Amino acid sequence: MSTPTPSLEDFTREALDFVGAHQKRATHDASLEPTYSVLPEKPREVEERELAEALAWRKTTFDAGFGWVDGPGAHGGRDLPPAYADAYRGVERLFDVPDEAYTRFSVGILCPALLEHADPALAAEMLRPLRRTDLVACQLFSEPGAGSDMAAARTRARLDGQEWVVDGQKVWTSGAHYSEVGLLLARTEPGSRRNAGLTAFLIDMDQPGIEVRPIRQMTGGASFSEVFLDGARVPDHRRVGEVGQGWSVIMTTMRFERAVIGTDGGIDLVLLDQLARLARDEGLGEDSATLDALGDILVRGRSAAAMTQEFLARANGGPGPEMSMSKLLLTDNLGRVAQTAHDLLDERMTVRRDPEFAWHQLALSLEGLRIGGGTDEIMRTIVAERVLGLPRTPVPAAAPTKRSL
């Protein structure tokens, strides 16, 4: 007999009781060192502690029935409508829960993509441990010389019996150094071009033939890594989808990634509160130009949030290409936050002294968010072609070679 669906109000009360029994209410502590970076960049000892806390919290929520509110019961979910998942996320924002950035790809991006593309055996093997974070995953898409153009992937995988042997290099991978598995895009058909001949795999990261090297960024942190694959192996049963059909798997994954970024807890509006406090501290709390800038950020942030909620309410089959608009509007509004902070602080924004330097970290880390999940330029192309139905961008003709002259 199926369990009756609780009312949204009863579910929300249940969630409040559960989270409140484990976590403290969120408060603003002015004594803490501020950090406004939109990318996690923390000392290794802090990262290790926060990662352990995040994994423990995900396991607690999963075991209590809140780990996959709108997920299928066969894989540990509760089979509730998406509105219930939104309600639970709203409850968590009221409390100081562990940072979900460490598990965002595994939980919010990879799992729904596997639901669409993994065969039943692979789904049964991977979905529950990924959602409960018994396994943590990373994304192995981008490559040197290709960047956001994933169709230019040159990492190769060749079949050797029941295993694929992988050689190549990936770059800009978040969380590679603590992940157990990676969603890998590799070229499995020699001589294939662009998005043909690509296949997706779930490859074990802790094996001979895989080396992870941190990339030092201009912010001073190293939240991304480059990954070298030299004879690494992945069993054929860890293949996601059919051979040569990896492009559809990757596009689904990117669709969910853009949805996650576009609904990232209203980070622009959270930072707006800190920006308003900065304006008051600078004696510009009543300045008309400053108030105009703050009001513009507020209106844009709330409008984008309402638009995104409407997109999600209509997305019965999962988020569509219109979520690219949500990501664009978020990065644009965060850029306005950073610019307003610069207008208030001027050259003091680049002085290594808190709290001013925290705004400098926002400005620098924002460029990573503009790239992650697809660059702003790619997002605009998707909106133009797939949302507005405008003609596709012409592909430039290849330059003539010397032989053809």
**pLDDT tier, 1 (very low <50, low <70, confident <90, very high otherwise):** very low
- Which residue would you say has higher pLDDT here, 340 or 312? 340
Mean pLDDT rounded to a whole number for the chain? 84
- DSSP states along 160-225: ETTEEEEEEEEEEEETGGG-SEEEEEEE-STT--TTTTEEEEEEESSSTTEEEEEE--TTS---EE
Residue 157: count other Cβ atoms within 10 Å of its Cβ: 28
**For the chain, percent of residues with pLDDT exceeding 90:** 40
Given a cut of 60, is residue 398 above it in pLDDT? Answer: no
Q: Residue 74 — pLDDT band, cuts 50, 70, 90? A: very high
Bigger pLDDT: 121 vs 388? 121
Return the pLDDT at 403: 47
pLDDT in tens, 4-45: 889 999 999 999 999 999 999 977 554 445 667 766 667 778
Q: What is the spatial distance between Cα 108 and Cα 130, in angstroms, rounded to a whole number?
A: 10
Torsion sign (Cα): 57, 124, 261, 187: positive
> Do 137 and 174 meet the contact criterion of CB atoms below 8 Å apart?
no
What does the pLDDT look like over 285-306, one tens digit per residue? 889 999 999 999 999 988 888 8
Mean pLDDT of 275-284: 89
The SS3 call for residue 25 is strand
Looking at residues 265-277, what average pLDDT do you find? 81
Q: List the beta bridge partners of residue 167.
A: 156, 230
Q: Is 257 a catalytic residue?
A: yes
pLDDT of residue 148 exceeding 70:
no
**What pLDDT does residue 31 have?**
44
User: What is the Cα–Cα distance from 8 to 16, expressed in whole angstroms?
Assistant: 12
Residue predicted with more confidence, 251 or 220? 251
In order of their start, the domains of the chain are 12-102 (no CATH), 137-244 (2.40.110.10), 263-387 (1.20.140.10)
Residue 279 has pLDDT above 80, yes or no: yes
Residue range 307-328: mean pLDDT, rounded: 72
pLDDT on residue 381 = 81
Residue tagged 């809140």 (tokens): 66
Whether the per-residue pLDDT at 120 is higher than 50: the answer is: yes
Residue 170: pLDDT band by 50, 70, 90 thresholds? very high
Is the pLDDT at 169 greater than 70? The verdict is: yes
pLDDT for 268 equals 82
Helix and strand element counts for the chain (H, E): 12, 8
Q: What is the pLDDT of residue 405?
A: 42
pLDDT of residue 365: 77
What tens digit of pLDDT does each residue of 174-192 get? 889 999 999 999 999 888 8
pLDDT class of 395 with cuts at 50, 70, 90: low
Residue 275 has what DSSP assignment?
Answer: H
Using alpha carbons, list the distances in angstroms from residue 59 to 22, 25, 68, 80: 13, 20, 11, 19
pLDDT at residue 404 is higher than 50 = no
Cα atoms in the 13 Å half-sphere on the side-chain side of 296: 15
Please state, in angstroms and rounded to a whole number, the distance separating the CA atoms of residues 167 and 188.
Answer: 11
CA atoms within 13 A on the CB side of 134: 8
Catalytic residue among 41, 92, 257, 356: 257
Give residue-wise pLDDT tens across range 209-221: 999 988 876 655 6
